[in-house]
Chains A and B, each alone.
Chain A
Amino acid sequence: MQNVGKVRIKRNYENCSGCRRCEITCSLYHEGKIWPEASRVRVFMLVPGVEIPHLCFQCDDYPCVEECPEEALSVDGQTGAIITHKSKCTACGICINACPGRVPHLHPQNDHIVICDLCGGTPKCTVTCQEGKWDTLILIEGEDVETEKISARTPKELTHETARKIMGENATEEVYEW
């Protein structure tokens, strides 16, 4: 895939206050209502104090797009975001397993996958996060997008990594397991 987009969302997990206002903003924009599970950015709290806003990482090779058997996912050439074509999506879930961060998830009510589309280039979650000065979700544009590349991680992996930073080496014992 050659579609290197021009927009990315950087994350500082240690700063996340757990206010979840990004979720509220996101679900209002995409669903027209406050809907925590339907939000494209979801804040996981797999141990209190370690809140992880989880959303698409925009992998270089977009494995979810590659592996979708229905061609229901594509990459927006302008932003680099993943676009879900709801009518083509059969909710088979192959993209979930293809994603190294397990980011895509089913819409809680309708039969299709939801993935962050960067709100067309002006992600609302970053605005919300910045206005409250939490500085957790940061909009990156232009050439910095290359510098700020991040590899995809699951909520659990990110929780372990962040918990070590926040609470010290022994803290990972505290993280919920199932």
Chain B
Amino acid sequence: MVNGYAGTFLEIDLTNNKIEEITFSDKILQDYIGGRGLGVKILWDRLGSKWETIDPLGPENVLLMLTGPFTGYFLGARTCVTGKSPQGNGIIGSTVGGEFGVELKCAGYDGIIFTGKAEKPSYVFICDDAVEIKDASHVWGKTSRESMRYLIKDSMNAIKKIHPNYGEFKEPSVLYIGPAGENKSRVAAVAAKYTHAAGYGGYGGVMGSKNLKAVVVKGFGSLPDVIDQDKMLELSQEFSKRCFMIEFFRRWGTGSGGYTFGAESSSEPVRNWQEEWHNEESYKGEEFDKFWIKKYWGDYGCPVTCLKLAVLRDGKYEGAICDNPDYELEAFLGPNLGIFSPEQNIYLSYIIEELGFCGIQGGAILGFTGELFQRGILTKEDLGGINLEWGNVDAFAELARKIAFREGIGDILAEGIYRAALKLEEMKKQEVLKYAIHLKGMAIGAHGLKSGKDIVTSTPIGYSVSVQAGDHTSTAALPIDGLGSELRSIMSDSGVYCNFTTFTLAFAQIADFYQAVTGWELPKEVWFGEKGLRILQLQRTVSLIGGPDVTWRLKQDDTLPSRFWEPLPSGPFKGESIDRNAFEKLKSEYYTVVGWNEEGVPTSEILHKLDLKDVESKLKKEGLL
């Protein structure tokens, strides 16, 4: 009996309609925890030796939905979605908030491993021991909210058959994709509720490629036993009290950021990062507040409840509902598109959610296209008649629809900014790539680096040496055991908990909680010097191998988008820029600390130390070592 884990994983072979229960050894769970870490281990073991041949959108990819030992017990439940990413062709541990992971554990499973591809549109229904692959043809092509209604209806009726005399039971939890995912867009999200998304990585497209519309799960059991419940609850209460005290963050969430990251720290994408400063008072938190029906909204177990529920109850866009939007969506679907109206931003966030996009990656492709239109590289004719002027929210909404359904130009744009740029360069015979503000195939989170004032990114190398590239929730920084370290993010994505409830906590406190749940010790030096570092090396390795359609080789890709090297053109920090020499120095320092050679490849020495000799062989075979 393993504490804090259900002890069983579901393996679902969609090609052969085969459902099995599998387990992992205590050693693997101790070393890789769960979520992102365990996902990396599973993917490496199954696909590592042939990584470069695996098409992320092919049936050979493995899609994982994993909980961790923190899921359900810790403050704010999340679930990790991962696999080989169709954006960067490495592995992104992408997490989504909500009750899915809790229901899954209560149903008796720590995670689900999907292989193959279903013959027709399908969804997976789980109610405790009853696990079934069901037809989803009637939901395919439907927008997010409508899909959810159908799936809940089907599932509630199915559960009722299993428990006819139970009385009322709570609804099951759903992870689903919208049309963008169905059409294998590389910028599609795996979503839950409203605007809850595992966005980074493009796993919505992976689900689509497997003909998997959704997973619906209901668990009637309890969460698995923990080793020291009294201690766990004592810590939980202590941590919650700390969260209750962060009243500013509770009240505003990240929802005041749409103004402050622009006006105060000059680090917000404005018109596809042409600027990072704006001072539009119409975009202040108070202006969004007018549309917030709920000022405290959250997911299972959360003491912070930083989400807001925004509803447009009248006007042109009446009926639009989304959460917040949070800062990332405020930025990417706001100033990034020349939109400075909360109402329009809420509407566009709702559209993006309905179509099943990641708000960041989806917003980035819209902004990228906006700039190509501004520069006359793409014309109204190219865009199928859309007049894509900055600030034209209806035009951007229509373009999003075209991308989701791969209509006309949308077919190219659905491939994400990097691949679309390559294609458009070929078509237009002019330079396009420099307008794709990406790192290793991924758009960068809405936290610019040039001003040096952004609170999320403390160092200019934060994205560049991260093993999750543009992911602002997994940036890198030294010291390696510090608060900004990527190994902290690997811990939160592997334990699978929210970083908004933990940023005031020392690692030792998180380790105490882990020990109260599992009974296993996790000394700081073991995580930062061994276990966490091992997961980092594996992610780095698959990111270096990539393939089959793109590869990010060696240190020249540990850089910044070309626009990020130019000085800030406006605002109080006008003229500020990133010093290349300082950047390179920081990068070298980082390489040394994490055990990478001067080309950015994990050294034999570190791989031996971490017992990763198979990784060494693979890197040698690929000519990287």
Chain A residues within 8 Å of B301, by CB: 19-21, 24
CA distance A134 to B307 in the complex (A): 13
Q: Which of B157, B225, B229, B298 counts the most A-chain CB atoms under 10 A from its CB?
A: B298
Closest partner residue, chain B, to A170 (CB atom): B319
Closest partner residue, chain A, to B158 (CB atom): A178
Which chain B residues numbered 269 to 316 have a C-beta less than 8 Å away from chain A?
Answer: 293-294, 296-303, 305, 309, 311, 313
20 pairs, A vs B, C-beta closer than 8 Å: A17-B298, A17-B302, A33-B225, A34-B222, A36-B170, A36-B219, A37-B106, A37-B219, A42-B170, A45-B170, A48-B193, A102-B168, A104-B167, A105-B169, A132-B305, A134-B305, A166-B294, A166-B309, A167-B321, A168-B313
- Once the chains bind, are A178 and B222 in contact (CB under 8 Å)? no
- Once the chains bind, are B153 and A154 in contact (CB under 8 Å)? no
Chain B residues within 8 Å of A44, by CB: 168, 170-171
Does chain A have a CB within 8 A of B72? yes
- Once the chains bind, are B72 and A34 in contact (CB under 8 Å)? yes
Chain B residues within 8 Å of A20, by CB: 99, 300-301
- Once the chains bind, are B156 and A108 in contact (CB under 8 Å)? no
Which 8 pairs of residues, A with B, have the shortest CB-CB distance? A105-B167, A35-B222, A178-B156, A48-B193, A108-B220, A17-B305, A96-B167, A17-B296
Does chain A have a CB within 8 A of B437? no
Does chain A have a CB within 8 A of B194? yes
Interface residue tally on B, bucketed by range: 35 or more
Which chain A residues numbered 106 to 128 have a C-beta less than 8 Å away from chain B?
Answer: 106, 108-109
Chain A residues within 8 Å of B167, by CB: 93, 96, 102, 104-106
Does chain B have a CB within 8 A of A43? yes
CA distance A133 to B157 in the complex (A): 36
CA distance A112 to B99 in the complex (A): 26
Closest partner residue, chain A, to B297 (CB atom): A17
Closest partner residue, chain A, to B152 (CB atom): A176
CA distance A18 to B300 in the complex (A): 7
- Once the chains bind, are B321 and A176 in contact (CB under 8 Å)? no
Binding site for B on A (CB under 8 A): 14-15, 17-21, 24, 27-28, 31-38, 42-46, 48-49, 54, 91, 93, 96, 102-106, 108-109, 131-134, 154-155, 166-168, 170, 174, 176-178
Given contacts A155-B168, A168-B313, contact A178 B225 (CB under 8 A): no
CA distance A174 to B301 in the complex (A): 25
Chain A residues within 8 Å of B248, by CB: none
Given contacts A38-B222, A49-B294, A167-B293, contact A131 B166 (CB under 8 A): no
The distance from the CB of B250 to the nearest CB of chain A, in whole angstroms, is 8
Chain A residues within 8 Å of B294, by CB: 14-15, 17, 49, 166
The distance from the CB of B211 to the nearest CB of chain A, in whole angstroms, is 24
Does chain A have a CB within 8 A of B233? yes
Chain B residues within 8 Å of A166, by CB: 293-294, 309, 311
Given contacts A34-B72, A168-B311, contact A176 B225 (CB under 8 A): no
The distance from the CB of A53 to the nearest CB of chain B, in whole angstroms, is 11
CA distance A35 to B225 in the complex (A): 11
Bitwise, B168-180 to A at CB < 8 A (1) or not (0) is: 1111000000000
Question: Quick one: which of B163, B240, B298 contacts A18, CB cutoff 8 A?
Answer: B298
- Once the chains bind, are B168 and A19 in contact (CB under 8 Å)? no
Given contacts A33-B222, A34-B72, A106-B166, contact A19 B149 (CB under 8 A): no
CA distance A35 to B222 in the complex (A): 4
- Once the chains bind, are A21 and B303 in contact (CB under 8 Å)? yes
Chain B residues within 8 Å of A48, by CB: 193-194
The distance from the CB of B508 to the nearest CB of chain A, in whole angstroms, is 24
Does chain A have a CB within 8 A of B244? yes
Chain B residues within 8 Å of A38, by CB: 222
Given contacts A21-B301, A49-B321, A167-B321, contact A27 B222 (CB under 8 A): yes
Binding site for A on B (CB under 8 A): 72-73, 99, 102-103, 106, 145, 148-149, 152-153, 156-157, 160, 163, 165-171, 193-194, 219-223, 225, 229, 233, 240, 244, 293-294, 296-303, 305, 309, 311, 313, 318-319, 321, 323
- Once the chains bind, are A33 and B169 in contact (CB under 8 Å)? no
Chain B residues within 8 Å of A176, by CB: 148-149, 152-153, 156, 171
The distance from the CB of A71 to the nearest CB of chain B, in whole angstroms, is 20
Closest partner residue, chain A, to B77 (CB atom): A20
CA distance A35 to B223 in the complex (A): 6
- Once the chains bind, are B194 and A93 in contact (CB under 8 Å)? no
CA distance A129 to B298 in the complex (A): 13
Closest partner residue, chain B, to A106 (CB atom): B166
The distance from the CB of B291 to the nearest CB of chain A, in whole angstroms, is 12
Chain A residues within 8 Å of B244, by CB: 131-133
Chain A residues within 8 Å of B319, by CB: 168, 170
CA distance A177 to B166 in the complex (A): 18
CA distance A48 to B300 in the complex (A): 13
- Once the chains bind, are B298 and A19 in contact (CB under 8 Å)? yes
CA distance A38 to B170 in the complex (A): 11
- Once the chains bind, are B194 and A49 in contact (CB under 8 Å)? yes
Chain A residues within 8 Å of B103, by CB: 36
Chain B residues within 8 Å of A33, by CB: 222-223, 225, 229
Chain B residues within 8 Å of A14, by CB: 293-294
- Once the chains bind, are A177 and B153 in contact (CB under 8 Å)? yes
The distance from the CB of B221 to the nearest CB of chain A, in whole angstroms, is 7
- Once the chains bind, are B153 and A178 in contact (CB under 8 Å)? yes
